[in-house]
């Protein structure tokens, strides 16, 4: 079966995606020659920590779209839905040429963690200054108390923005990594899917959902959901997801939450706005304030229908970092 998509050849999808992206936005990003690494067009001073991430393609605008001022310095792109290998990650750390060091943000998936740890070991053996921070936020993938076993999903976007801005302000490597851990520990995400995405290579659905059901707690690659339920209204789904996140994150009246309502690819902006309105009403009823929500398609799974809802508890420091403007194409505000 051939995927019904506007591509040229399956083996060229990643290279042509990167070529198109960097050709479209040369004022913001460029592609390092001979690599699949997207970096800022204007590299920041070497006395500031560089923040990088490696990730698989197929989730655009993540994570190539998050390279820019007050976000990432580089994204090392792997294959379609596949983490980059340790060699390109190690090489990217060296190419950052940062005297202050490199913070590698690692979304908690087996391939990403394995390859990133190997890359960090290789870089340290070569006396390159770098540290990694593993990010996890998906409450459906491991129980409370075992947060470190959870998958990295849409809530990692809080870290790309807040930690990236913090690094641009000139803090040292230890402080930047500590900020990444602080943001991670205040973040929770839950994802609902209504329609599966389709692999651009095989043309096959990535998982199955009955026409009258939705999956609650699915991963960004179609990983198994925690449970399914009959298709309900936006308000009913928002209630289930919001209350689950509030309980797990122990968010309380008086808290301020940065909010992400992430479309998974096929869900329309209209649906996302209706869903956010329902979420916001619940938060208000609990005495919790939402801080400038990010609503749109940020971390997608091709044309998967669904919504990822993420909260991050913020104080004045984190809020200022979240609100700071960015030039990143996939998250400019």
CA distances from 129 to 50, 89, 100, 263 (A): 11, 14, 8, 36
| Active-site residue identified among 109, 148, 171, 221 | 221
Structure tokens at 244: 């689950």
Q: Which residues pair with 258 in a beta bridge?
A: 291, 312
Which are the contacts of 79, defined by CB distance < 8 A and separation ≥ 6? 14, 56, 57
Structure tokens at 40: 């800022």
HSE-CB at 330 with a 13 A cutoff on CA atoms is 23
Q: Is 227 annotated as catalytic?
A: no
| Active-site residue identified among 59, 109, 148, 227 | 59
Q: Is 221 annotated as catalytic?
A: yes
Question: For 46, left (φ over 0), alpha (ψ -120 to 50), or beta?
Answer: alpha
143 burial via Cβ count (<10 Å: 0-12, 13-18, 19+): exposed
Residues that are catalytic: 59, 221
């Amino acid at each position: 079966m051939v995927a019904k998509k506007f591509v040229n050849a399956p083996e060229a999808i990643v290279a042509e995606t990167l070529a198109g992206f960097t050709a479209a936005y040369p004022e913001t990003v460029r592609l390092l020659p001979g690599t699949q690494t997207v970096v800022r067009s204007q590299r920041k001073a070497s006395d500031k920590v560089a923040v990088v991430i490696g990730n698989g393609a197929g989730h655009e605008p993540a994570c190539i779209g998050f390279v820019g001022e007050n976000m990432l310095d580089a994204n090392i792109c792997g294959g379609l839905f596949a983490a980059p290998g340790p060699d390109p990650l190690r090489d990217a750390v060296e190419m950052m040429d940062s005297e202050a060091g490199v913070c590698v943000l690692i979304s908690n998936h087996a391939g990403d963690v394995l390859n990133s740890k190997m890359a960090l070991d290789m870089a340290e053996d070569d006396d390159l200054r770098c540290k990694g921070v593993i990010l996890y936020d998906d409450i459906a993938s491991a129980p409370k108390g075992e947060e470190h076993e959870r998958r990295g999903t849409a809530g990692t976007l809080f870290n790309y923005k807040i930690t990236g801005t913090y690094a641009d302000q000139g803090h040292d490597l230890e402080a930047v990594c500590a900020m990444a851990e602080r943001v991670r520990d205040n973040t929770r995400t839950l994802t609902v899917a209504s329609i599966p995405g389709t692999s651009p290579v095989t043309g096959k659905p990535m998982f199955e959902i009955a026409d009258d059901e939705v999956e609650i707690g699915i991963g960004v690659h179609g990983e198994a959901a925690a449970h399914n339920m009959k298709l309900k209204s936006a308000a009913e789904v928002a209630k289930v997801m919001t209350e689950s996140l509030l309980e797990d994150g122990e968010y309380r009246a008086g808290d301020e939450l940065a909010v992400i309502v992430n479309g998974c690819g096929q869900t329309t902006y209209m649906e996302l706005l209706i869903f956010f309105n329902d979420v916001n009403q619940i938060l208000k009823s609990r005495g919790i304030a939402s801080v400038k929500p990010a609503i749109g398609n940020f971390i997608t799974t091709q044309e998967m229908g669904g919504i990822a809802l993420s909260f991050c508890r913020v104080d004045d420091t984190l809020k200022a970092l979240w609100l700071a403007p960015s030039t990143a194409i996939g998250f400019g505000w």
